[in-house]
Amino acid sequence: MPEWDTYKAAAKARGSLALELYAVQSTPAKAPEDLAVTLPDHLAYQAKLEAEGQLAFAGPMSDETGTQMQGIGLIIYRAASFEEARALADADPMHSTGTRSYVLRKWMINEGSLTLNVGLSGQTVKLG
């Protein structure tokens, strides 16, 4: 299997974006009442990272059927390195208190699209 940098160079040579982000799959490690206590600090931390440009996306995930929430969360960080992304994840109050555990992976974005609609007169923004 090729090393990450070799794979990234090949993706760029093909014309892919090869944007490196960092994906955290966060899972409950304590009781739901512990999650509820830590949630305000966790949300404040995420808002801070979003304002600083380090949080790309975050939110809960469903089970495999798409009908039930299981408490699993997905967080996507913008970071300069794997170590920096780990530091961001470690500093999340959910993780630093042991309320949740996580797995961190580097994620290379090659393809896809994002739609942004900005309504000037109505001063609205829609992401689709």
Residue with tokens 């490196």: 20
- Model pLDDT, residue 63: 86
Q: How much is the pTM?
A: 0.87
The pLDDT value given to residue 59: 95
Kindly give the parts of the chain with pLDDT less than 50.
Answer: none
Question: What's the CA gap between 92 and 125, in Å, rounded?
Answer: 28
pLDDT digits (tens, 9 = 90+) for 52-83: 999 999 999 998 888 888 889 999 999 999 99
pLDDT of the residue at 16: 86
What is the reported pLDDT for 84? 98
Token output for 4: 């990450």
Please, what is the average pLDDT of the chain? Answer: 93
Q: Tell me, what's the pLDDT at 18?
A: 86
DSSP string, 87-100: HHHHHSHHHHTTSE
What's the pLDDT at 82?
A: 97
> Do 25 and 73 touch, CB atoms closer than 8 A?
yes
- The pLDDT of residue 101 is 98
Task: Give the type of residue at 27.
Answer: T
